Amino acid sequence: MCYSIPLAGAAITHIVWARKRSVKLWWLNLMFYGAALFGVIDHWWNGELFLVSENVVKDLLLGVTITITTLLVWGIMVVVSKTNPTLASYTNISK
C-alpha cells in the first residue's frame, strides 16, 4: 500500500507534465515513478505485493513520507541547479 501515494503523485505529475512539458516536472515524474517502484519491489520482496497489511494507516503514512522525501530531494535539485550553472547544464534542469 505504501507505493500507492508515490504512484498517485507520479500520475498527477505526468498529467501536468503532458500539458507543460517542463524538464523540472519530467525529473519529478521520474523520481515519483522510482519511489513507487521502490515500494512495489519492497512489497514483492516481503511477499505482500497485493495484500493489505494489518495496519493500513502505517502503510499510507510511509507512502506520504516517501512522497515528501521525494519532493524535498527534487526541490534541492532545482535550487542547486539554479545556483550552480555547471550542474544546471549537466542535468538540463534549468529550462
Q: Where do the domains of the chain lie?
A: 4-91
Q: Tell me the C-alpha distance between 67 and 47, whole Å.
A: 23
pTM above the 0.85 mark?
no
Cβ(56)–Cβ(2) under 8 Å? no
Binned at pLDDT 50, 70 and 90, residue 48 comes out as confident
pLDDT tops 80 at residue 87: no
Amino acid, res. 6: P
Binned at pLDDT 50, 70 and 90, residue 77 comes out as confident
Cα angle at 93 between 85 and 90, to 5 degrees? 55
CA distances from 5 to 25, 60, 79, 82 (A): 17, 7, 24, 28
